[in-house]
């Protein structure tokens, strides 16, 4: 009789059953019939760890194969730790099944991939806090307790708390027999923080720092057009309309398209970059042609530029976007145009830049001068 070891372990942020056996084409075909996929890192076939697949093993393998069940030691070691959510794993396999349904629901509603990732991570945080309970047992009191004993106890941000609330609300809308009153889940009071802005001189120091033409072009385009990081990385060569002096942003935040004006100076820089690198699919590609430039690498580019420019401020990519908007406002650009360029849904979002604009503040005469 053939031998098959079923090992419960983690793979790509999920709890899976890894099917381990000596190479056998009949067993490989049986693995395929239950929807198993091959992992080159684990050198074995795997399926999600849930009751449905346990039943599938019994129906498919039990009569012809000797099954041995194992559990990865790391699972036993960490089973009571709520922090497992960071690895993308639900401690309770039953919770993982509910999470899969939640992901399908979000996909059917056409939520952005980043939103799906954030919501599922936030929901895992909540479900792992109650790993010993069934979803049907959870009530509003459990949500309040989780908020006090985890979110507040660990001093997590209000934005993180808000994200968890959003995830819980959407999750329980699709779970039957829920005893949670969705509308009774309160959100945290919103924080009002001014955007971080640096001067034009500091921006120039950062943009002049990279010797690499691609690095300089990426950072310059973020500031010159007020782009988000994802917007820059999702650009393709066809999105640069040099004749009309426009940059076309496709399916950005909120699944909206918009156009942004391009100055002659940035067009010349992009032409120089294009001649040197000849990107195939994405405007900015990684080391391999056709591969999108990674967000982590872009952050490292900025970090090196800041260090070379000898700036002590913790500048991020989004600071360049904030600085672009503030500098436009200080130059007299109408707030409505800035709203369109940045792709803000509400004018209230754009109005935050009036709080940090130096132009209005510097024109205020201090009563001290009249003494």
Residues 277 and 144 in one domain: no
Would residue 353 show up in a list of annotated catalytic residues for this protein?
yes
Residues 204, 339 within the same domain: yes
Residues 335 and 223 in one domain: yes
46 is catalytic: no
Do both 278 and 356 map to the same domain? Answer: yes
The average pLDDT across 280-296 equals 90
User: What's 291's DSSP letter?
Assistant: P
Across 5-44, b (16+ Cβ under 10 Å) vs e yields ebbbbbbeebbbbbbbbeeeeebeebbeebebeeeeeeeb
For 187-198, give one letter per residue: b (16+ CB within 10 A) or e: ebeeeeeeeebb
Assign 146 a pLDDT band (cuts: 50, 70, 90): confident
C-alpha separations of 369 from 3, 295, 359, 361, 365 in Å: 90, 49, 19, 15, 7
Cα–Cα dist 304/212, whole Å = 11
Q: Which residues contact 37 (CB under 8 A, 6 or more apart)?
A: 45, 46, 47
Options 228, 239, 308, 355, the catalytic residue = 228
Asked whether residue 52 falls in the same domain as residue 106, the answer is no
User: Which structural domain, as residue segments, surrounds residue 26?
Assistant: 2-78
Residue 191 placed within a domain = no
Q: Is residue 136 part of a domain?
A: yes
Token pair for residue 174? 């699709």
pLDDT value for 316: 92
Catalytic residue flag (residue 228): yes
What is the pLDDT, as a whole number, of residue 189?
63
Give the pLDDT confidence score for residue 84 in this predicted structure. Answer: 39
Question: What single-letter DSSP state applies at residue 131?
Answer: T
Q: What is the pLDDT of residue 48?
A: 86
Residue 103 domain-assigned? yes
Here the CATH number for the domain that contains residue 210 is 1.10.443.10
For residue 210 the two structure tokens come to: 């990279």
In a domain, 190, yes or no: no
> Three-state SS for 25?
helix
Residue 3 has pLDDT above 50, yes or no: yes
Residues 46 and 114 in one domain: no
Q: Which residues, 6+ apart, have CB-to-CB distance to 26 below 8 Å? A: 2
Phi (first) and psi of residue 244, to 5 degrees: -95, 0
Average pLDDT, the chain: 82
The CATH code of the domain that includes 142 is: 1.10.150.130
DSSP state of 294: P
CATH number for the domain including 43?
3.30.780
d(CA 118, CA 323): 27
Q: Are residues 219 and 355 in the same domain?
A: yes
Per residue in 9-64, pLDDT tens? Answer: 877 667 788 888 888 888 888 888 888 888 877 788 888 888 788 878 878 887 77
**Residues 167, 126 contacting (CB under 8 angstroms):** yes
Assign 71 to helix, strand or coil: strand
Residues in the chain: 371
Catalytic entry in 87, 117, 344, 355: 344
Mean pLDDT of 185-204: 77
Please report whether residue 27 resides in a domain. Answer: yes
Report residue 201's pLDDT band, with 50, 70 and 90 as the boundaries: very high
Closest CA to 313 of 225, 199, 212: 199
- Quick one: CA torsion of 221, 227, 230, 233, rounded to 10 degrees? -20
Q: At 244, list the tokens.
A: 């009309």
Span 102-125, average pLDDT: 86
Q: Tell me which of 229, 321, 322, 327 is the catalytic residue.
A: 321
Residues 91 and 68 grouped into a single domain: no
> Catalytic residue among 94, 142, 169, 253, which?
253
Number of helices followed by number of strands (H, E) in the chain = 16, 8
User: Could you read off the pLDDT of 225-284 as tens digits, one per residue?
Assistant: 999 999 999 999 999 999 999 999 987 776 788 999 999 999 999 999 999 999 989 999
Question: Is 258 designated active site?
Answer: no
If one counts the domains in the chain, the total is 3
What number is the average pLDDT over the span 207-226?
A: 94
pLDDT digits over 73-89, tens only? Answer: 655 544 444 443 334 55
Neighbouring CB atoms inside 10 A of 351's CB total: 14
- Assessment of whether the complete model's pTM goes beyond 0.75: no
Same structural domain, 155 and 283? no
């Amino acid at each position: 009789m053939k031998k098959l070891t079923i090992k419960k372990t983690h793979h790509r942020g999920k709890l899976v059953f890894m099917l381990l056996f000596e190479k056998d084409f009949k067993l490989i075909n049986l693995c395929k019939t239950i929807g198993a996929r091959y992992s080159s890192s684990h050198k074995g076939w795997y399926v999600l760890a849930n009751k449905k697949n346990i039943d599938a093993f019994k129906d498919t393998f039990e009569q012809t194969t000797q099954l041995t069940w194992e559990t990865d030691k790391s699972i036993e070691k960490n089973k009571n730790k709520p922090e497992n959510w960071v690895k993308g794993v639900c401690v309770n396999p039953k919770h993982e099944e509910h999470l899969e349904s939640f992901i399908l629901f979000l996909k059917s509603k056409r939520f952005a991939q980043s939103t799906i990732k954030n919501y599922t991570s936030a929901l895992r945080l909540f479900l792992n806090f109650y790993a010993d309970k069934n979803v049907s047992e959870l009530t509003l009191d459990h949500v309040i307790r989780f908020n006090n004993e985890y979110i507040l106890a660990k001093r997590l941000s209000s934005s993180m708390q808000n994200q968890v609330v959003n995830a819980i609300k959407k999750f329980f809308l699709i779970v039957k027999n829920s005893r949670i009153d969705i509308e009774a889940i309160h959100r945290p009071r919103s924080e009002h923080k001014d955007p971080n802005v640096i001067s034009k001189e500091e921006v120039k120091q950062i943009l002049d720092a990279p010797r690499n033409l691609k690095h300089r072009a990426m950072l310059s385009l973020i500031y010159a057009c007020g782009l988000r990081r994802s917007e820059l990385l999702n650009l393709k060569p066809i999105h640069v309309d040099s004749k009309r002096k426009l940059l076309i942003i496709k399916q950005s935040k909120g699944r909206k398209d918009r156009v942004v004006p391009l100055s002659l100076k940035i067009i010349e820089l992009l032409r120089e970059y294009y001649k040197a690198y000849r990107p195939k699919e994405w405007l900015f590609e990684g080391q391999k042609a056709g591969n999108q430039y990674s967000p982590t690498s872009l952050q490292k580019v900025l970090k090196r530029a800041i260090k070379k420019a000898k700036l002590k401020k913790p500048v991020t990519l989004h600071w360049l976007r904030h600085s672009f908007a503030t500098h436009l406002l200080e130059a007299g650009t109408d707030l409505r145009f800035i709203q369109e360029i940045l792709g803000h849904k509400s004018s209230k979002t754009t109005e935050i830049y009036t709080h940090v604009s130096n132009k209005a503040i510097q024109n205020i005469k201090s009563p001290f001068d009249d003494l």
